Chain A
Amino acid sequence: MSQATTTATSTPERRRSRPSHRRTPVGTYVGLGALFLVVLFPVYYGIIGSLMGVADTNAFPPALWPTHGLHPGNYGDALRIIPLGNQYLNSIAQTALITAGQVVTSALAAYAFVFLDLRWRGLWFGLFLSTMMIPYESIIIPNYLFVSSAGLKDTVAALALPFLATGFGTFLLRQAFLAFPTELRDAARVDGAGHLRFLRSILLPLSRPTLAALGIYSALSAWNMYFWPLLVTTKAEHQTIQIGIGQLQSSDGDNPGMVLAGVVLALLPTLLLVIFGQRFIVRGLTAGAVK
């Protein structure tokens, strides 16, 4: 952020000093506006379409905005056709368990990697990182066989268990812990704080931005999961909302508004996360990209 001040002071001067290079932003606005329309159209139509009746959506060419009044009843219809309410709760439970689990296991592991004496530290850490290189789909069959033979199909446990630990989260928190001033740790130690107490009441509160990044990232990926929930749930009332909206289409493809209402319901939490938590998302996502 310190760059912002230098930019602010140098900008007007730069523009003035070379008038021939002053860029008219008109082209940029036009290009940006055009891309805006194209890129954001599915977002717009997903939301507006969820309020449109069949007179609009099934006409040809279909209306681009409601011309026959709004139909909020689409939402009620979506909730009636499949147990979206149940599925919503399943998604919430799955997301909460996975997010909490990942934060806890990553925090404990990262603490060990940074603050505790550990033989073959590099080897252990490499083992954690290696889990990130294994695409989930390549081990999904044995996981399915295991969960199904353990009788866990159609349970929240099946939805969450395989994802309670993450190499990425451990890596992220380790980076944050490494930046922690050693003096503070020593001071806490002198004051008699044990490992768990130090972790919980000092380290984690001070690592809040990274925790938020990890939490949001975990929640987003858990909420949006598709393949695994599709496999381990069979009955509609045990499925997650992501599976539900896929089903919505096949159960009533003749009313796109109702299908899109389901989409909006499934989308709402993540949409809010992306709008209000973007700062943290960027931090989490770019942990691997920015040197």
Chain B
Amino acid sequence: MTTTVSPARAEQAPPAAAPKRRRSSSGLALLFLLPALIVFGLFVFWPLVRSVVLSFQGTDIIGRPGAFVGTANYERLLSDPGFVKVLGVTLAVVPSILLALVVALMLQSRIRAVRFFRTAFALPFAFSVATASVVFQVLYNPASGVLNGLLSHVGVGPVHWLTDPDIALFSVAGATVWMQLGYNLLVLSAGLGALPEEVIEAARLDGATGLRLQRSIVLPLITPQLFFLVVTGTIHSLQSFGQIRILTAGGPEGNTTTLVYSIYEQAFAYNNSNFGYASAQALVLLLIVLVITAVQFGILERKVFYR
């Protein structure tokens, strides 16, 4: 999972190094950095360079990266009509955050057993993509699944949740909403818990209550968390893979083949070994994520209300 952290905060902290030190002691620091640097070098930075190189290469018949093909892989990718499906599961992001927000706000009011509810609602967070997907696969089963079982009571015929081309993407997104819910809730609850009591109090004394208090005071105060969740949620959804592989394998009719699933399909599934084309897709993914991160840092963060 990619976690995005504002660099602004990193700079806030005062430099801890005492000014009076020998220059030569830099070597010791590098020694301490070395284990991490080796891992990053071998498994992050070097692969990144190789990804770029691969994306300009074709692949021979037994899967070895072959001749230099220029931008052919990229041209093929951009002219692919399925390319718009890149965003696929990101349609889960906003509903998931809204649902988490509603729950988090309810948990803020004075209710009994709040600890129980808080823990219970965070439980989806314990599920991995694989465990959650398998549970949803059972629930979505058209013949014996609970969802169709419940729908049959109101006379709705069996829905083919994962094989109907018009529905499959929404089914995958629905499962994804659920998977992201626990995380969103934890972040929003933490944000709400840290709100300055005086501000809420002052607003209340001014007569703000209920929805108005939530809308005009509480929501603006937690925009940093909401914004953070939109950004991380979008990035996270772009990386969706497990739920697609387990639930739909990219189908039906390729309707749930998102960018990352396509990388898998091109490079690894059915011994395709189409590493060049898949690498071009991988770099497009990187580019999209970098743009989203840059937008977060550069433009929008200034407009978000910070205390």
Q: Across the interface, do B32 and A108 meet the contact criterion of CB distance under 8 Å?
A: yes
In Å, the complex CA distance between A18 and B135 comes to 47
Provide the residues of chain A in CB contact with B173, threshold 8 Å. none
Q: Across the interface, do A60 and B33 meet the contact criterion of CB distance under 8 Å?
A: no
Q: Across the interface, do B26 and A118 meet the contact criterion of CB distance under 8 Å?
A: yes
- Assuming the A-B contacts A168-B3, A278-B122, are A61 and B32 also in contact, with contact meaning beta carbons closer than 8 angstroms in the complex? no
Q: Across the interface, do B36 and A135 meet the contact criterion of CB distance under 8 Å?
A: no
In Å, the complex CA distance between A130 and B139 comes to 40
In Å, the complex CA distance between A256 and B144 comes to 9
Provide the residues of chain A in CB contact with B162, threshold 8 Å. none
Provide the residues of chain A in CB contact with B131, threshold 8 Å. 46, 224, 242, 245, 263, 266-267
Q: Across the interface, do B102 and A35 meet the contact criterion of CB distance under 8 Å?
A: yes
**A145 is an interface residue with CB less than 8 A from chain B:** yes
* B220 CB to nearest chain A CB (Å): 14
Closest to A119 in B: B26
Q: Across the interface, do B125 and A290 meet the contact criterion of CB distance under 8 Å?
A: no
Q: Mark A113-127, 1 if CB is under 8 A from B, else 0.
A: 111111101101111
Provide the residues of chain A in CB contact with B13, threshold 8 Å. 174-175, 178
* A275 CB to nearest chain B CB (Å): 6
Provide the residues of chain A in CB contact with B32, threshold 8 Å. 108-109, 111-112, 116, 195
Provide the residues of chain A in CB contact with B239, threshold 8 Å. 135-137
- Assuming the A-B contacts A32-B106, A285-B186, are A138 and B282 also in contact, with contact meaning beta carbons closer than 8 angstroms in the complex? yes
Closest to B196 in A: A3
In Å, the complex CA distance between A119 and B284 comes to 34
- Assuming the A-B contacts A11-B110, A137-B263, A281-B125, are A165 and B40 also in contact, with contact meaning beta carbons closer than 8 angstroms in the complex? yes
* A268 CB to nearest chain B CB (Å): 9
The winner among A58, A105, A170, A291 for most chain B CB atoms within 10 A is A291
In Å, the complex CA distance between A29 and B110 comes to 10
Provide the residues of chain B in CB contact with A267, threshold 8 Å. 126-128, 131
**A198 is an interface residue with CB less than 8 A from chain B:** no
In Å, the complex CA distance between A256 and B140 comes to 12
* B128 CB to nearest chain A CB (Å): 3
- Assuming the A-B contacts A263-B131, A290-B194, are A14 and B178 also in contact, with contact meaning beta carbons closer than 8 angstroms in the complex? no
In Å, the complex CA distance between A136 and B290 comes to 13
* A46 CB to nearest chain B CB (Å): 5
Q: Which of A36-44, A67-75, A203-211 contacts B (4 or more CB under 8 A)?
A: A36-44
Q: Across the interface, do B5 and A132 meet the contact criterion of CB distance under 8 Å?
A: yes
- Assuming the A-B contacts A57-B144, A139-B47, are A133 and B242 also in contact, with contact meaning beta carbons closer than 8 angstroms in the complex? no
**A201 is an interface residue with CB less than 8 A from chain B:** no
Q: Across the interface, do A260 and B126 meet the contact criterion of CB distance under 8 Å?
A: no
**B299 is an interface residue with CB less than 8 A from chain A:** no
Q: Mark A11-34, 1 if CB is under 8 A from B, else 0.
A: 100100010010101001101100
Provide the residues of chain A in CB contact with B178, threshold 8 Å. 39, 42
- Assuming the A-B contacts A28-B111, A141-B282, A226-B242, are A135 and B235 also in contact, with contact meaning beta carbons closer than 8 angstroms in the complex? yes
In Å, the complex CA distance between A248 and B148 comes to 23
Q: Mark B159-183, 1 if CB is under 8 A from A, else 0.
A: 0000000000000000000100111
Contact of B145 among A62, A142, A171, A245 (CB under 8 A): A62
Contact of B134 among A57, A112, A246 (CB under 8 A): A246
**A221 is an interface residue with CB less than 8 A from chain B:** yes
What are 11 contact pairs spanning A and B, CB under 8 A? A36-B120, A42-B127, A45-B135, A58-B144, A60-B144, A132-B2, A195-B28, A249-B137, A275-B126, A289-B228, A291-B307
Interface residue ranges, B against A (CB under 8 Å)? 1-7, 9-11, 13-17, 21-23, 25-26, 28-30, 32-33, 35-40, 42-44, 46-48, 50-51, 54, 99, 102-103, 106-107, 109-111, 117-139, 141, 143-146, 148-150, 152-153, 178, 181-183, 186-187, 189-191, 194, 197, 201, 204, 209-210, 224-225, 228-229, 232, 235, 238-239, 241-242, 245-246, 260, 263-264, 267-268, 275, 278-279, 282-283, 285-286, 289-290, 293, 306-307
